[in-house]
Structure formats: C-alpha cells, structure tokens
Amino acid sequence: MAKRTVADINVKGKKVLMRCDFNVPLDENQNITNDARITKALPTIKHVLDQGGSVILMSHLGRPKGEPDPLFSLSPVAKRLSELLDKNVIMAKDCIGPDVEARAAAMKPGDIMLLENVRFCKEETIKDKAAKEDAQLRQAKDDFAKKIAALGDVYVDDAFGTAHRDNASMYTVPMMMEGKDRVTGFLIEKELKFLGDTVTNPEKPFVAILGGAKVSDKIGVIENLMRKVDTILIGGAMAYTFFKAQGKQVGNSLCEDDFVEKATSLLKEAQDVGCELVLPVDTVVAKEFKAHAENKVVEGDIEDGWEGLDIGPRTCGLFAKKLAVAKTIVWNGPMGVFELEPFDAGTKAVAQAVADATQNGAKSVIGGGDSASAIIGMGLEDKVSHISTGGGASLEFLEGKKFKCLEILDEK
C-alpha cells in the first residue's frame, strides 16, 4: 500500500487538515496520564509548520454520546501540544460552525488549531452502511463532513488507531476533498511499512503470538497468518476453547462453546498447511478472579471450581524457546489476566522473550493494546522493532482486511 505522504506535497501557504489519534487516557482531574499518542503525531505536525503551512488538527477522545461533554474535551490535548511545540495551539470551541470557520480563515502560516472532539457531533460516528441505507443519515453525515472539509486545502491522515473505522473525519471528509492532496502522515507511513513488510515479506522463521480472551476475535487473524507464519503461539483465555476442542476439561475457565467446532477445524487446517500451532502445556489456575487469589499450576485438565488465568512456567519456557530462533515476530494479545498479580507473569515472560529475540536480530512488531502496555510497562519499548499505535487496527491489518479510509488516499 504505497501511499503519498505529507513529504511528497507542497504545503507552503496551505491549511493542512490533519486527522490524528489523540484518544489519550485522562485521570479524574482531566490530566493526561500518557501522552504517547500526542508525541507520535509531532513529526508530521512539525513538518507542515516547518514547510510554511498551517495545521488544523482533529481527533476524537473517548465515547461521548454525540453531544458536548466536558469530560471528553480535547482542551488538555491542546495544552500539552502547546507545551511540546513551545507555541500557542488555538483550541476551537467546536469542530464545525461559524466560530471554527472564522478562526480557520484567519490562520496564517505557522499557526496551529485543534478542533473540539469530533464525536461531540453524532454525525461523526454514523456507520457508512447505515448511511447507504438511509438517505437522511447519509445527508447528515455528508453535510457534517463538507463543513470540516471546507476548512482545509490538504487532507493528512495520521490516525492509524482509527484507520479501521469509517467515521466521517476518517473517510467522508477526505471523500469530500477529492481533487485536493490527500496523503498520510509519517506515523501511518511507519505503521504501513512495518505491518505491511512484516506480513508480506517476512524473514523466516516467522512466529506469531496471539492472546486475549476470545477465539472469535482472532479467527480471521489465525486463518490469514497460518499460511504466512511457521509457528503460532496461543495464550490467554482463547486457549481454553482450543483445549475443549481437544477434549480437555477447562473447569470454570472462560470458554466460547459456540466456537469449539471452529477451533477444531483451525487445529486441523494449521496442520494441513504446515503451520505449528502451539498451545500452553501448563496453566496457572485460581478459584477467584482477583489479585493474589489462591492459585496453583496444572497440566492437562482443569478441575471444576478452578479457572485458568495465565500460562504456566513450562509454557513460558516453551514459548521463549520458539521465539529465540525467530527472525520475525508479531504479537497481539496478553497471555493471561495481566492486570492482576501474579497472573501477569506469562505476559511479562513473553514480553522479555520478544525483546531478547529482537536484540539477537529478530524483527518484532507489537500489535498495540495490552501487548504494547506490557512492553512499555516493563521498559522494553526500545528493545523491540515497532509498537503499533492501533490495537484494533493492527488486528484487522493482520487479518488482511482493507481499510477504506486509506484506500482513497493518493497513491505514490
């Protein structure tokens, strides 16, 4: 997916409308607790300013219900951006309307403005399918997008975290800017390069690590990757659905009974295509779902009254051994309930094994979400090749899905 980037166009004297992902975590006092999503947008923003353009930024934050909510205001982001850029960032009162239009019209090269949360307008999240089926919804979404599109001369998409969504600011706005430059920012360029190169041209052996709660969330990924990778390591609660498919008892463990048959077929399919699908050989089980609950390590069947909450020490060693010989690694999903001690041990062990393999020459891509949190929480972010900014987006990318909002951007 070779897309033109902001570096390929002339932005001098132009107003650059840029979609970012500023969906940052806030504490109860509206203070930003992690500004990584802001700092990762800085290279693209600074490039436009350095090249003589002005920047109009837009993003969502949280899930407001289609109306203004001070708890989800982007004001804290504007404040942090001002600090990082050492220049005033104009905070708009809305994302559309006369005030926004007047402020945009008055912008000069070097100016920067952040629109208020686009999800304060219900039109932002109208599904494209719903819009196609309902003329009134389609008109509302189009009218909203036209008002935003009119603010800029150029459209830049640098929000990989929402690249799998058909929200108005991601898809309909650039559609309304046909004939103008529509390009990616440097963050999306990096994501497409790492994820794209990893999946399409990996150095072997290629090992994928998949975890999380549900097999149903990962079926597409498993089906797509088993024809590309040498080994898939399965952890997290999704492993118990595979256990049941093998005829094992899973006790009180989370298990998707409706997908046991599918898990059975995935095991056979992996064998047929020559992909080694590795399940845990031991499990940390507990009687309660809480931190430091009474627990033990079991192999094989899990008794009634006990629930699997993490991979066991033998599995940690097995997975580390598989990763040690890998040349390409993709990881998406935790190995257990890693937010609760001591059931975070498996995820931490895998994080360390991925970092060690990377330091020995492997290329590693961490698929956002909990996997990224584990790597960052252990201070290993500089020991892996790439941490994706999009959990859901990277997952869909690994499934081989196409992203409409990226397909409409300019080709190289």
Residue 277: is it exposed, middle or buried by C-beta count within 10 angstroms (0-12/13-18/19+)?
Answer: buried
Helix (H, G, I), strand (E, B) or coil at 120: helix
Per-residue confidence (pLDDT) for residue 298, from 0 to 100: 97
pTM of the model: 0.86
Question: Is 400 designated active site?
Answer: no
- The token pair that represents 318 in the structure block: 């097995």
Q: Which of 214, 314, 383, 404 is catalytic?
A: 214
Question: Is 333 designated active site?
Answer: no
| Gap between the Cα atoms of 402 and 399, Å rounded | 9
Q: Which of 152, 336, 369, 391 is catalytic?
A: 369
Which helix (DSSP H) or strand (DSSP E) does residue 157 occupy? Answer: strand 154-157
Note the pLDDT tens digit of each residue in 60-85. Answer: 999 999 999 999 999 999 999 999 99
- Measured between alpha carbons, how far apart are the two ends of the chain, in Å? 9
User: Does the domain made of 194-399 have the CATH classification 3.40.50.720?
Assistant: no
Q: Which of 262, 392, 401, 404 is catalytic?
A: 392
Right CATH for 6-187 from 2.40.50.100, 3.40.50.1260, 3.10.105.10, 3.40.50.2300: 3.40.50.1260
Question: Is 369 designated active site?
Answer: yes
Q: Which of 15, 19, 37, 182 is catalytic?
A: 37
**Type of residue at 321:** K
Cα atoms in the Cβ-side hemisphere of radius 13 Å centred on 25: 6
CA angle 285, 339, 192 (to 5 degrees): 115
Q: Where are the domains of the chain?
A: 6-187, 194-399
Note the pLDDT tens digit of each residue in 130-164. Answer: 888 899 999 999 999 999 999 999 999 999 988 88
- Nearest CA to 161 out of 195, 200, 130, 129 is that of 195
Stretches where the chain sits below pLDDT 50 are: none
Per-residue confidence (pLDDT) for residue 398, from 0 to 100: 80
- At which residue do the structure tokens 């309930």 appear? 337
Asked if residue 170 lies in contact with residue 125, where contact means CB atoms within 8 angstroms, the answer is no
Per-residue confidence (pLDDT) for residue 396, from 0 to 100: 82
| Matching fold, domains 6-187 and 194-399 | yes
Question: Is 390 designated active site?
Answer: no
Alpha helices in 120-171 (DSSP H): 128-133, 135-149
Q: To the nearest 10°, report the CA torsion of 10, 16, 21, 27.
A: 130
Per-residue confidence (pLDDT) for residue 1, from 0 to 100: 57
